[in-house]
Chain A
Amino acid sequence: MDRMHFGEHSSSQFNEALESIRNNLMEMGGLVEKQVVDALQALLQADSALAEKVMETEDKVDKLEMLIDEECTKVLALRQPAASDLRLIIAVTKAVSDLERIGDESAKIARMGQQLAEEGESPRGYVEVRHIGNHVRNMLRDTLDAFARFDAKKALEVAAEDKEVDLEYRSAMRSLVTFMMEDPRSISRVLNIIWSLRALERIGDHARNIGEQVIYLVEGKDVRHISVDEIEAKLKK
């Protein structure tokens, strides 16, 4: 039997409830993914209108978060789910809060974009933003994909990617700090870039968290707060 097949429940209402939760989660994921892409665009192209749009989307994301949480609470109260159903509900409730935080971070990036549009471009850092931004965007896409397909292997790949993002972030930070020391007049503008990079790095962390929830959902193993190597070892057991 396909363990992660959710269509065969004896209770069709239970099926519908789980299906609806999954659909809403995917919708929320799609919205948040778009937010990240738009926020990056707004920052890189100094597009204030687009930045505004990103911040407006936050409201929708928040509402979806509350809706999904409510649906999950209902399933817990009315169905007392067990085994894979229980893990799905737990994983979803945790994933939505990570998605909501990703939305917040995107809004932060959009705000930085607006400020840069007003104050004038930063002399440095756009290459790093584009590079890390792309990386993080792919991670988010992959982790949502992994959730939709219950693919623990892909989720593990996302966790491994996060390590690289952290390295890239640290190296970008070093070079930008050096630059600010050399050219103190640029500090305020470069700081906007630094906050954005920081937000991107956080998005990477949240994507990894969601990946860890996917692994819990599929394999039933808690892989939080351990290294990628340790996760791999745990999965092999």
Chain B
Amino acid sequence: MDTAEKFDDKAPGNAKLADQIEGEQAMDETIRYPDQTVGTPYVDNPKMRMRDVEVFYGEKQAIHGVSLDIGKNEVVALIGPSGCGKSTFLRCLNRMNDTIDICQVKGNLHLEDQDLYDPKLDVVELRARVGMVFQKPNPFPKSIYDNVAYGPRIHGLANKKYDLDEIVETSLQKAGLWNEVKDRLHSPGTGLSGGQQQRLCIARTIAVSPEVVLMDEPCSALDPIATAKIEELIAELSQSYTIAIVTHSMQQAARVSNRTAYFHLGRLVEMNDTDTVFTKPEHDLTEAYITGRFG
């Protein structure tokens, strides 16, 4: 399996990655991990509450005791160097990691009162409440209309054609795509531009009225204009949804989020108001990463 290889240091292609991590650790000699996350990882009445999350890929531990809250209607950005575990952590939030056999998640993860890892929980239902937008736009090879209507159909959210039409229209409007596609709803979604495809995927995600939207580097494959549109959209969406976004672009994290979490080698080093993180981070590791002194 792909992921198994990815975390096996002995695999020939990964010698470089191992070197890099060792190099980083060597450089970090003078910077120490905090005993616990610095800043304000917790909020009152959180939408999602994660405590002592640990993730293993086989023997290899990818996340070490991460605890944080995501507030209602908050945009939380997860940043950190490659391989720091930010995407892995994000994928725990709607059990995307279930699809990886060797991946094991420990700790307490709650969406309001719902234990995310309750064995009785219906994962499909969970993913309707916690939607996800991926790095590469991945519209289904169907029409624009069917892409958006897919979720509501399988979840039985609309009984009549009229209701479905309305859901499709509102979702596309919320995703800022309606005006561009209203005259060609039945042409294939794959025929749209990259930025439009990504907004289509966002429309598809919000069509099932999720409470939380997870975004895994949603703009990394897009040009600056399309990126600006998605960022605008994130601000808009945060009025109705709670959003967690993983991004490699620190400027993007700075622009869109209320709070920023900095991950480093599987640990949550600091979580603070985004303003604080980008002007006066509390921890030296955050400072070093934000200012581009490593990473």
Contacts and interface: CB of A to CB of B under 8 A. Distances in A.
A39 to B, nearest CB: 37
Contact of B291 (A85, A219, A220, A221): A85
A3 B292 contact: no
Nearest to A2: B30
A221 B277 CA distance: 14
Interface stretch (A4-12, A23-31, A50-58, A110-118): A4-12
Given A83-B279, A86-B279, A9 B293 contact: yes
Nearest to A5: B293
B120 interface: no
A178 interface: no
Contacts of B279: 82-83, 86-87, 220
Contact of A82 (B30, B284, B291, B295): B291
B284 A14 contact: no
B30 A1 contact: yes
B278 A84 contact: no
A15 to B, nearest CB: 10
A187 B295 CA distance: 67
A81 B251 CA distance: 9
Interface in B244-295: 250-251, 254, 277-281, 284, 286-288, 290-295
Which of A81, A83, A87 has the largest count of B CB atoms less than 10 A from its CB? A83
A70 B30 CA distance: 35
Nearest to B31: A1
B67 to A, nearest CB: 24
Main SS class of interface, A: loop
A80 B292 CA distance: 11
Contacts of A83: 277-281, 286-287, 290-291
B27 to A, nearest CB: 9
A86 B278 contact: yes
A9 B251 contact: no
Instruction: Say which size band chain B's interface belongs to.
Output: 20 to 34
A14 B288 CA distance: 14
Nearest to A220: B280
Nearest to B276: A220
A35 B86 CA distance: 54
Contact of A84 (B251, B291, B295): B291
A219 B286 CA distance: 15
Interface residues of A, number: 18
Contacts of B281: 83
Nearest to A87: B279
Nearest to B294: A10
Contacts of A82: 250, 254, 278-279, 290-291
A80 B286 CA distance: 16
B60 to A, nearest CB: 27
Nearest to A81: B291
A93 to B, nearest CB: 15
Contacts of B277: 83
Which of B254, B290, B295 has the largest count of A CB atoms less than 10 A from its CB? B290
A6 to B, nearest CB: 9
A11 B277 CA distance: 21
Contacts of A86: 278-279
Contacts of A221: 280
Contacts of A85: 291
A8 B281 CA distance: 18
Contacts of A84: 287, 291
Nearest to A221: B280
A213 to B, nearest CB: 14
Interface of A: 1, 3, 8-11, 14, 80-87, 219-221
Given A14-B292, A221-B280, 13 more contacts: A1-B287, A3-B287, A10-B292, A10-B293, A10-B295, A81-B291, A82-B279, A83-B278, A84-B287, A86-B278, A86-B279, A87-B279, A219-B280
25 contacts: A1-B30, A1-B284, A1-B287, A1-B288, A3-B284, A9-B291, A9-B292, A10-B292, A10-B295, A14-B292, A81-B291, A82-B250, A82-B254, A82-B279, A83-B278, A83-B280, A83-B287, A83-B291, A84-B287, A86-B278, A86-B279, A87-B280, A219-B280, A220-B279, A220-B280
